Structure 1
Amino acid sequence: MESIEIVLAMLLAVIASAYLVRLLPVSLPLPLVQIALGALIAAFTGHGVTLDPEIFFLLFLPPLLFLDGWRIPKSGLLRDKVVILELALGLVVFTVLGAGYLIHLLIPAMPLAVAFALAAIVSPTDPVAVSSIASRAPIPKRLMHILEGESLLNDASGLVCFRFAVAAALTGAFSVAQASITFLWLAGAGVAIGLGATVIVTWVQRWLTRHFGEPNGSPILVNLLIPFGAYMVAEHYHASGILAAVAAGIAMSYVELSGHTLAATRIQRSAVWDTVQFSLNGVMFVLLGEQLPDILHGARASLEQSGHVNPWWLVLYAFSVSLGLLALRFIWVWATLRITLYKKGKRGEHAQRPHWRLLLATSLAGVRGAITLAGVMTLPLTLPDGSPFPARDLTIFLASAVILISLLAASIGLPRLLAGMQFPREPAEQQQEDLARREAAAAAIVAIEAAQVELMPLSADPEVYPQAAARVIALYQHRLNVGTSLGDDAVKFRKRDQAERALRLAALQAERRAIFNLARHDRLSDELSRKLVRELDLAEARYR
């Protein structure tokens, strides 16, 4: 019963953090507030939650990685694929080697394999943490797409490296040839299982829906279970469950383009996934705060084994590792940029050199978060011979400290670093939106005209459908005029759209108040009031 109470307390802390971050006079990232609330829970309960590493990994990682793969902007991913791969793969390997040797040099008592494991688990960046900071810093949209793409792919590469390092720590042996073969199987089979899981489940679901209808809530539940199924099947066949979850998410984004899902299901599913993402990320950071006292106690014990008694050595280690990671990231970003500029110059292409502040911001935006925390918590408790895993508590402490320091550094540094910078507008996105609206409006007008001809014989009044079609076509014609106008006319049309949106929102709010008033006075049934309010809510969501 006590465990259930702690879980409920954590969920309440996640809810409270969303309000506290708005009320605090000082602007802080949401994860830091959640960590602080977790520490308060630990102070009141008096002890930490005992975690099973395998269960922790299964509960938290698959849905988060699946959602990352599903929602990553594919156009930005393909446009900047070279830069993203350099960061997501090359930088991870560079970080594992550089930070691994640095950690072993700083803490000789930590075995080299464990140092590599720590370096691997702190190599992935966290898009949620970056996004929460980006809301207060003027990060260019293209840079955000690169950071999101990096975080999607380096989750997989970092966790796979972490798995190899832990295996080497457990067995005491490491073979490059064997690791290469194992990596190919992990990656290939993991991606194949993830893609197959989404395709097969979607096909079966469509077949059942076509023959038996669609039960309420069933498609959403199936969608929630896909990442867990892909992960568990991959792990059963000793493939990468991490890559399976990512691949399943990417496959889902393409399956979604088929348009077979009902509109109501998409709306409800989006709300459910937003809640899942917010809850899981929040609980992990609250859990980090709740574990901090025990982690600190265990880290001090590991410190004494290394010959140091003063706890300030922990602070020194934490800042040294964090600064080392920042330096390695800056070196990699600077070096790859110079190589890219050199190659473009050799080809005779004009390449604009980015501002040094933007280069430093790219390095500072490498914030660690949920994936690092989830991964480091899966460190084995013991070695195969039953002895304790070497420096486990110290490793968890240093990974937690890196998360805290990177969050603080980015939240303080990024807004100040990018303050006053002017970035060129990206007209491509507005052009794509205008094109989509024009194409959709033109298709709608053709469909309305065809439907009018088909439905007219069914009506006793021959004027009904032509009049209705004229009204609906006028709305779509207005959209076409907005999309095809140029210069000042386009600006005027958009201002009118904004004015119309404000008026429609005011009207919708008035409609909703009137319906609620009728329901309160028993002049409208609850069922009918809910139906009408839902229609108004959907209309308002469109205009907002």
Structure 2
Amino acid sequence: MEILELALVVLACVIGSAVLCQVVPRLSLPLVQIAVGCAVALLVPAIHDVHVSSELFLVLFIAPLLFNEARNTEPRELWENKGAILSLAVGLVLLTVLAVGFALNWFVPSIPLAAAFACAAALAPTDAAAVGALASSVSLKKRQSTLLSGESLINDASGVVAFQFASAAALTGAFSAIDAGAEFARLFFGGIAVGAALGFAGRTAARLLRRGGYESTTTNVLYEVFSPFFVFLFAEWASTSGILAVVAAGLVMAERQPRLTSSAAAQRQIVSNGFWHIIVFLINSVVFTLLGMELPQAFTPAIADRFSPLFLLGVVALVTVLIMGCRFIWVLAMEAVHRLALRRRRGRKGGKRARRASKLETVETNQPSPTPHLRQRRPHWRERVGSLMRNALVLTVGGPKGAVTLSIIFTLPLAMNDGTTPFPERDLIVFLTASVILCTLLLADGLLPRLAPRAADSTSDEELRRATMRVLEGTLRELQAMLDDEADSRYDPALRLTIAQYRIRLIHEREASSDGCGRKLDELSQTVREVQQKRADELQDAAGLSVNVSTPYYAALRRIRRSIGYDGTDVNVGSRFRNLRGRAALLWQRTKPDGVETDQDERVYYDSCLFAIQLEHAAIDYLQDVIAQDEDRRKSAAVLLGEHRMALNSLWNRINYGQGVKQADRSDLTMGPHAALPEGMEPLFGKQFAEAARYADEVDADALTIELDQIRHLLEHGEIALPVANELRQRVYVLQMSLGA
């Protein structure tokens, strides 16, 4: 039960941090989640009594995270950069362990050398969760992204092995470099072999199930989610690296098929990517929230009594500087060697190409090849050094510590082998580790956006919004023309609802517009709303109906206004009770299912349509006066006038649907409630509800096709740019996929 309560608290923190991140957009989401977790831990001290096993932490969070990271990694890119990745994942880890371990032991003598090495080993690996979370907010080059993700996939094993041997040395006082090397080789190569074998077996099993027709999209996603947990546990049971096994399995099991080969494969990929997107976001959020919750717990009273805050800050700063310094020097040297090798390779290729061209030209003209007078300018050495330093800085701060480091350090034993002597300075080591994690995240969050800023989006939000409004307006015109055509009246009810949905989308885009026209439309719409409410009050006061009688009419009016394109508070115009009893009755009425089933329902719906028509006439009369008298608001009033006329036509169309005798539009209607429908009028509102539900998907699909045609038309005529058109198409594709879901 305690674990369930902790899970609910963490989930609430995740939701709260996601909302808070929108309020404070300058802070990255991981830092907001850490801050929320820290605040909750301070406000709810009982959280400190619930502990999550570090082994459970690894298998529950890190395994699926690395599996998904491996699925989305291109093996060819990893192989092309294998030397640099292994250099970072093995060589840099060993350098960090030695440098930080000796320095920590020298600066804090109460921490034994072996324990200091254990702390350094835990801090050596970078974290896939942190790298992925931060990479989404910056613009990394292809090689930078490949190195950071590849390093985070592999360096966990080297860090874990170094930590295990340092911990064993701290417990026993003995260390063997030969044994450590053999153990590392067994974990490293054994984990890769086990993971590759299990991944191949899993991929083969999935293909056999697919060929036999026994696999569905849902089964495929569940199979993918199950795989990392099974692979991790099996590899750990086989005494190899579960982390590397998960990475190898993810690389092998990833589906890499040519596009446009199978609709079933495309559907599997879409569902799988969407599901994993949610899983990865949830894991990242939980990890950083738990990290924030651990920070107050790490600073125990025992540490506060023995060390001053200034001294502890100095130690944290020293360890952070050493880790970043070692990483910067290593990356700088590695990238310098890489660029030198690349320059030599290009030089050899260029020399061979030039010699071949020279020989060919000499044969053809019997003249030596002239030296070209125009050559591409080589970058100045200062530019090359500056580019190299900047690249090294990006790779340095782009490798923060995170969940893996936290889970490793929590495996430190509580006591020595005798079972009574406490592990030396365990609380201090945990505190330093958690603090360094926070420092590396702060550095990454503060420096990465400046070192590798995301390119400004060529498409502004306002430009996209204007294009969206033009597309929606064009689509609405086409849909209204289809409704007026009356080619097949069966589709009219569904078509009216589709028009209402597009009208709501258009209203939302106008309300979100930041230009002056958007503000004028919003202000004028509010005034029209007040005019309609005033007219409704006049009609209702004149009718003098009781709460019990008027409640069904109010509920029907709300549905009608929503069906003609009103949204939000506009839906409630004309259906507001002034007393609590009426509001309660309306609330109860709204719990009943929508629809028109009885003759009484037909009469109520008819009277409510007449009432809604009166409100539309009030709006139209007011807007016509504005157009005639107010030049400043004339354009906005003309836009709204067209919409209200469309709403009025929609109301009369549903009244006259399938009727032999059509009723004419007029404003001097006899208001209800009527005892019966007008003479000669058939009760067809219920049929319209059924037809609307029956053809809704078909009509919506046609409307989205029209919307795509509108986008193509605007693009062909140069009225919108290609990036805008692509974004608009993407939105339509999402809407198309949602049909029938």
Same fold (TM over 0.5): yes
Relative distance call for 1:196 and 1:513 in structure 2 (3 A) is: farther
Q: 1:8 and 2:11 equivalent?
A: no
For 2:410, the equivalent position in structure 1 comes to: 377
Whole-Å separation in 1 of the counterparts to 2:217 and 2:282: 23
For 1:439, the equivalent position in structure 2 comes to: none
For 1:263, the equivalent position in structure 2 comes to: 266
Relative distance call for 1:528 and 1:44 in structure 2 (3 A) is: farther
Whole-Å separation in 2 of the counterparts to 1:408 and 1:156: 25
Q: 1:172 and 2:169 equivalent?
A: no
For 2:17, the equivalent position in structure 1 comes to: 17
User: Could you say what secondary structure the match of 2:189 adopts?
Assistant: helix
Structure exhibiting the larger radius of gyration computed from Cα positions: 2
For 1:69, the equivalent position in structure 2 comes to: 70
For 2:294, the equivalent position in structure 1 comes to: 291
For 1:103, the equivalent position in structure 2 comes to: 104
For 2:39, the equivalent position in structure 1 comes to: 40
Shift of 1:216: 5.8
Shift of 1:55: 1.9
Whole-Å separation in 1 of the counterparts to 2:13 and 2:438: 18
Shift of 1:210: 3.7
Relative distance call for 1:335 and 1:207 in structure 2 (3 A) is: closer
Shift of 1:246: 0.9
Whole-Å separation in 1 of the counterparts to 2:144 and 2:88: 12
Deviations 1:157-185, CA, capped at 9 Å, x for gaps: 32332233333334432211112222222
Shift of 1:228: 0.9
User: Could you say what secondary structure the match of 1:217 adopts?
Assistant: helix
For 1:221, the equivalent position in structure 2 comes to: 222
User: In structure 2, which of residues 251, 273, 278 is the aligned counterpart of residue 275 of structure 1?
Assistant: 278
Matches within 5 A, 1:123-522: 123-211=124-212, 213-215=214-216, 217-253=218-254, 262-297=265-300, 301-302=302-303, 308-343=306-341, 353=384, 354-386=387-419, 387-418=421-452, 503=471, 513=501, 522=689
Equivalent residues of 1:104, 1:115 under 8 A apart: yes
User: Could you say what secondary structure the match of 1:27 adopts?
Assistant: coil
Shift of 1:230: 0.8
Q: Structure 2, unaligned stretches of length 5 or more?
A: 351-377, 457-466, 477-496, 505-561, 565-592, 596-688, 705-730
Equivalent residues of 2:217, 2:267 under 8 A apart: no
Shift of 1:291: 1.8
Whole-Å separation in 1 of the counterparts to 2:20 and 2:698: 34
Shift of 1:421: 10
Equivalent residues of 1:318, 1:398 under 8 A apart: yes
For 1:55, the equivalent position in structure 2 comes to: 56
Whole-Å separation in 2 of the counterparts to 1:381 and 1:33: 31
Deviations 1:499-541, CA, capped at 9 Å, x for gaps: 89x9599969968936996997654798986899899788237
For 1:464, the equivalent position in structure 2 comes to: none
Shift of 1:311: 2.9
Q: 1:118 and 2:152 equivalent?
A: no
Q: 1:539 and 2:527 equivalent?
A: no
- Which residue identity does 2:733 align to in structure 1? A
Quick check: 326-335 or 413-422, which moved more? 413-422
Shift of 1:410: 1.9
Shift of 1:79: 3.5
Deviations 1:57-93, CA, capped at 9 Å, x for gaps: 2212211111121112334333333333322222122
Identity %: 37
- Which residue identity does 1:540 align to in structure 2? V
Whole-Å separation in 2 of the counterparts to 1:530 and 1:390: 68
Whole-Å separation in 1 of the counterparts to 2:113 and 2:173: 10
- Which residue identity does 1:377 align to in structure 2? F
Whole-Å separation in 1 of the counterparts to 2:428 and 2:344: 48
Equivalent residues of 2:498, 2:699 under 8 A apart: no
Shift of 1:346: 6.6
Deviations 1:437-462, CA, capped at 9 Å, x for gaps: xxxxxxxxxxxxxxxxxxxxxxxxxx
Whole-Å separation in 2 of the counterparts to 1:130 and 1:192: 26
Relative distance call for 1:527 and 1:286 in structure 2 (3 A) is: farther
Quick check: 206-215 or 145-154, which moved more? 206-215
Whole-Å separation in 2 of the counterparts to 1:238 and 1:76: 29
Shift of 1:96: 1.6
Relative distance call for 1:123 and 1:528 in structure 2 (3 A) is: farther
- Which residue identity does 2:302 align to in structure 1? A
Relative distance call for 1:2 and 1:263 in structure 2 (3 A) is: same
Shift of 1:53: 2.3
Equivalent residues of 1:303, 1:314 under 8 A apart: no
Whole-Å separation in 1 of the counterparts to 2:299 and 2:701: 50
- Which residue identity does 2:299 align to in structure 1? L
Whole-Å separation in 2 of the counterparts to 1:283 and 1:383: 32
Whole-Å separation in 2 of the counterparts to 1:403 and 1:376: 11
Matches within 5 A, 1:71-90: 71-90=72-91
Equivalent residues of 1:69, 1:246 under 8 A apart: yes
What is the alpha-carbon root mean square deviation over aligned residues? 3.9
Relative distance call for 1:216 and 1:401 in structure 2 (3 A) is: same
Whole-Å separation in 2 of the counterparts to 1:202 and 1:53: 30
Equivalent residues of 1:104, 1:110 under 8 A apart: yes
Q: Structure 1, unaligned stretches of length 5 or more?
A: 423-498
Relative distance call for 1:189 and 1:419 in structure 2 (3 A) is: closer
Shift of 1:233: 0.9
Whole-Å separation in 2 of the counterparts to 1:145 and 1:399: 26
Relative distance call for 1:232 and 1:2 in structure 2 (3 A) is: closer
Whole-Å separation in 1 of the counterparts to 2:138 and 2:423: 41
Relative distance call for 1:138 and 1:526 in structure 2 (3 A) is: same
Equivalent residues of 2:203, 2:252 under 8 A apart: no
Relative distance call for 1:392 and 1:355 in structure 2 (3 A) is: same
Equivalent residues of 1:53, 1:379 under 8 A apart: no
Relative distance call for 1:199 and 1:311 in structure 2 (3 A) is: same
Quick check: 233-242 or 75-84, which moved more? 75-84
Equivalent residues of 1:197, 1:229 under 8 A apart: no
Relative distance call for 1:358 and 1:215 in structure 2 (3 A) is: closer
Equivalent residues of 2:92, 2:327 under 8 A apart: yes
Q: TM-score, normalised by structure 2?
A: 0.56
Relative distance call for 1:177 and 1:267 in structure 2 (3 A) is: same
Quick check: 279-288 or 75-84, which moved more? 75-84
Relative distance call for 1:125 and 1:59 in structure 2 (3 A) is: same
